[in-house]
Amino acid sequence: MNLWKITAGRPGSRWLIAIAVAATLSSLSVPAAAQDAISVEGNRRVDPDMVRSYFHADIAGHYNAAALDAALKALIATSQFDDVKITRAGDRIVVHLAEAKTLDKVVFEGNEKVKDADLSAAVQSKPSAGLQRATVQGDVNRIVEAFHRVGRDDVRVTPDIIDRGNDRVDLVFDIVEGKKTTVRRISFAGNHVFGDRQLRAVIKTSVTTVLSFLTGGNVYDPDQVNGDRELIRQYYRNHGYADATVTNASAAYDPASSGFNVIFAIDEGEPYHFGDISFVCNVPGLDCEKLRSLLLARPGASFDASLLDQTSETLAADMSKRGFPFAHAEPRITRDPQAHRADIAFAIDQGTRSYVERIEIHGNNRARDYVIRREFDISEGDAYNKTLIDRAERRLKNLNYFKTVKITTKPGSAADRVVLDVEADDQATGDFNISGGYSTTDGWLTEVKVGDRNFQGTGNAVQASASYGQYARGADLSVSSPYVVGRATAGAEVFDRQADVSPYQSYGSNTYGGNLTLGMPVNEQTGVLWRYSLYDQNVTLAPGTSAATVSIPIRQAAAAGPQLVSSIGDTVTTNTLDNNKSPTSGFKSQLSQDLAGLGGDVRFLRTTEDARYYHSINSDLTGMVRAQGGYIAGWGGQQAPLLNSFFGGPSMVRGFAPNGFGPRDLTPGSTMDNVGGSLYWASTAELQSAIPGLPQEYGLKASAFVDAGSVFGYRGPQSSQIANKNIVRSSAGVGLSWASPFGPLSVDYAMPLSKAASDVTQRLNFNAGGF
């Protein structure tokens, strides 16, 4: 009260009153200085103030039990200490530290199957960090797991610590890899529609055979087995079984065989066919009926989940172009178990309005980031659409550049922002192959190939090959680059090929030149390849051959000398095969056209078609039908060159020799060569089956077939002695094929059923090696 009285009567007393009040309030709001002192013991490198910064006093300046416990945990979490203890000594808090030694090096010894770089990425102990015993033990487990993934289950890892002085140590992991742990048996339970052989062809895991050292896939990998579960499920769903699931995938180690027995338990469910296919449009302003032309599934067809996935992706991309970037299509399936019918309603919803803030890519030590980014239909700043993200993940997997690809999302800097996290683990993409073999067409042949489908991580494919054989020689260099214009792939090739006189023709040929190509996908199943070709070709006669004995068309082709061919063309390919290497269902068609005469010496139009359809009859039996046809005609007053005409042989009708049927010069005393035709057709009906008693992993298949076809329409130099009738050639036979590690091998034995008198038959046809 006296203070107030004294200051109130003086000049400027209002300012003094304000200062006094502020000081009083300040003294009430600020806590007193910490009453408990903190002393730090045992530290050599760590600053004491840094240690004290982890302690947080209460309002009175004291540290209760909760505060000390929080400080203890925070100090341990820094990984800078082997041990931390906090005690009280009167009104003092004493922090006892045992500083962790600093890691100078982290070294791996004894490892061959897993690289140092992969192990360094797996462990958490890093150079310049503190040595933590618990972390080291965890690293041992991580190294063991890395070796389990490459089939080394009896690996032993021992950590050694080498003192380098000055509180620095080296951490050495001594590794004994042990023997490879393989898969000895793969079995399936609950499968009735598809047999064991057919399902083994679907999965990547395979059993150990005498060829496993070449084919691979027989190493037990739990991650791969889990992936196989999804492959089996998708296979069923793509072949009519909408409810199929793989309920379990178990692996048991068998000491007797020193390997794993893997069992897949399957619940197949019932087969379905597509019923009504409709839209449920929940996006204002979008006319969903305009999307109907994009539907791939058709009512009445067998249920195929892959068509639904592809349709969803196509719809999302199209709606984005129409100005609805957040819209997505989800197929909703209504099942009628009694009628085995699945009605599909594509629900078109707006989706959450969020945007891609960043695309973070890691794991790709070789493939460059842009190779991954260009597989996305979206980029930073675009609307987030899960369907398009799923499409990008599938495209990345199909590149075959990576062991694994996984795309996940993380929260962005705002509620409407997401970060795409792309983890792509590189795999080897280079190829080096030396192969040799024999065929009844080309004789003995040796071939060397070297290439890389992801050259220096750029996504470009480069390949060089050279071959030398009994009747043929050649060299080839090609390069292709994707995404040169949109999703188009550009390619270039130069080649040099020589064919000599053989038992099937009395003349040789030289061809050298190059091609430029541009391929563009139309949709997921159809693509177009445009090309420009420029090459020089000529017919050669064997030294010492008497011109009088050579067939007139051959003689005139040789006399014409080298001819420059300049042509443009295209090939339209439609492919719905379930497996390109060993198909059991689906369709593949290739329609090619070439127009020569844009410069050069010759003018012709050439068209060919080759279509194949596969259908699974049962788990071990597949039916295939094939149709071929072609036409060539000169224009501008020219005839089509001999070397560009069609010649009948075993590629059309088995049981006939190369150049064995078609127009032929029958002039007595001549070489009686096949002189080529302008038209051909051929058809095949074939049954393919696995070999009973042999593991599917061997890749052996037997076949029974019937072929029919003809080559006719000779339009070269006229001669009354040329046989040129459209006579049907046909045959029936059996074959054996082997997708061997050294290249495809096939042998066919066919009995001709109908032929012309001048045809040359050859019942046994054999190909082995890199043909």
> CA–CA separation, 626 vs 650, rounded Å?
14
Which residue matches tokens 């799923």? 390
> CA–CA separation, 760 vs 300, rounded Å?
48
Assess whether pLDDT exceeds 80 at residue 219. no
Q: What is the mean pLDDT of residues 10-18?
A: 41
Which residues of 198-340 form beta strands (DSSP E)?
245-254, 259-267, 273-281, 328-336
Instruction: Work out the burial of residue 716: count CB atoms within 10 Å of its CB; fewer than 13 is exposed, 13-18 middle, 19 or more buried.
Output: buried
- State percent of the chain over pLDDT 70: 90
Q: What is the mean pLDDT of residues 721-747?
A: 84
Higher pLDDT, 639 or 10: 639
Give me 496's structure tokens.
Answer: 């040099």
Nearest to 296 by CA among 612, 526, 527, 585: 526
Assess whether pLDDT exceeds 80 at residue 440. no
Name the least confident of 46-50, 262-266, 743-747: 743-747
Query: Who contacts 21 (Cβ-Cβ below 8 Å, separation ≥6)?
Result: none
Which residue matches tokens 């080291």? 136
pTM of the model: 0.68
3-state helix, strand, coil in the chain (%, to 5): 20, 45, 35
- Return the ∠ at Cα 257 (arms to 251 and 258), rounded to 5°: 70
Which alpha helices (DSSP H) does 101-132 contain, by range? Answer: 116-122
In this predicted structure, what is the pLDDT of residue 678? 95
In this predicted structure, what is the pLDDT of residue 205? 85
Nearest to 656 by CA among 766, 759, 504, 503: 759
Map residue 82 onto helix, strand or coil. Answer: strand
How far, in whole angstroms, is CA 451 from its chain's centroid? 17
How far, in whole angstroms, is CA 350 from its chain's centroid? 32
105-130 pLDDT tens trace: 899 998 887 888 888 888 888 888 87
Give me 707's structure tokens.
Answer: 């072929």
Q: What is the DSSP letter of 737?
A: E
> CA–CA separation, 25 vs 716, rounded Å?
114
Nearest to 380 by CA among 352, 345, 412: 412
Intra-chain end-to-end CA distance of the chain, in Å: 112
What dihedral do alpha carbons 366, 367, 368, 371 form, nearest 10°?
170
Instruction: Work out the burial of residue 214: count CB atoms within 10 Å of its CB; fewer than 13 is exposed, 13-18 middle, 19 or more buried.
Output: exposed
691-709 pLDDT tens trace: 776 666 667 889 999 999 9
In this predicted structure, what is the pLDDT of residue 26? 42
In this predicted structure, what is the pLDDT of residue 552? 84
For residues 418 and 410, the answer to whether their CB atoms sit within 8 Å is yes
Which residues of 9-111 form beta strands (DSSP E)?
37-41, 81-89, 92-99, 102-109
643-700 pLDDT tens trace: 999 999 999 999 999 899 999 988 887 888 899 999 999 999 999 988 776 666 667 8
Query: What is the radius of gyration, based on Cα positions, of the chain?
Result: 37
Map residue 322 onto helix, strand or coil. Answer: coil
Which residue matches tokens 């909408």? 242
Assess whether pLDDT exceeds 80 at residue 218. no
Q: What is the mean pLDDT of residues 620-642?
A: 93
Which is it for the CA torsion 119, 123, 125, 128, positive or negative?
positive
What dihedral do alpha carbons 249, 263, 151, 407 form, nearest 10°?
-30
Arithmetic mean of pLDDT over the chain: 85
Higher pLDDT, 37 or 339: 339
Q: What is the mean pLDDT of residues 185-190?
A: 92
> CA–CA separation, 647 vs 626, rounded Å?
18
For residues 419 and 425, the answer to whether their CB atoms sit within 8 Å is no
Map residue 48 onto helix, strand or coil. Answer: helix
Which is it for the CA torsion 104, 110, 111, 112, positive or negative?
positive
Which residue matches tokens 């462990």? 123
In our burial notation (b when 16+ CB lie closer than 10 A, e otherwise), range 521-549 reads eeebbebebebebebebbbbbeeebeeee
> CA–CA separation, 149 vs 153, rounded Å?
9
Nearest to 244 by CA among 210, 225, 219, 269: 269
Q: What is the mean pLDDT of residues 425-446?
A: 76
Which alpha helices (DSSP H) does 63-151 contain, by range? Answer: 65-77, 116-122, 133-148
Assess whether pLDDT exceeds 50 at residue 14. no
In this predicted structure, what is the pLDDT of residue 551? 84
293-338 pLDDT tens trace: 889 899 999 999 989 998 998 899 899 888 898 998 999 999 999 9
In this predicted structure, what is the pLDDT of residue 693? 65
Give me 199's structure tokens.
Answer: 């399902």
What confidence tier does 34 reach under pLDDT thresholds 50, 70, 90?
Answer: very low
Nearest to 268 by CA among 290, 252, 244: 244
What confidence tier does 547 reach under pLDDT thresholds 50, 70, 90?
Answer: low
- State percent of the chain over pLDDT 90: 44
> CA–CA separation, 241 vs 45, rounded Å?
66
Nearest to 99 by CA among 162, 19, 43: 43
Assess whether pLDDT exceeds 80 at residue 735. yes
Assess whether pLDDT exceeds 80 at residue 615. yes
Tell me the CA distances in angstroms from 58 to 67, 88, 91, 149, 413, one per residue in order: 8, 17, 15, 51, 34
Nearest to 640 by CA among 557, 535, 528: 557
The amino acid at 703: S
Q: What is the mean pLDDT of residues 415-424?
A: 91
What confidence tier does 550 reach under pLDDT thresholds 50, 70, 90?
Answer: confident
Q: What is the DSSP letter of 64?
A: -
For residues 245 and 305, the answer to whether their CB atoms sit within 8 Å is no
Give me 713's structure tokens.
Answer: 């329409």
- 164-168, 413-417, 541-545 — which one is most confidently predicted on average? 413-417
Which residues of 603-757 form beta strands (DSSP E)?
604-618, 621-634, 664-665, 679-690, 700-712, 722-723, 729-740, 743-754
What confidence tier does 33 reach under pLDDT thresholds 50, 70, 90?
Answer: very low
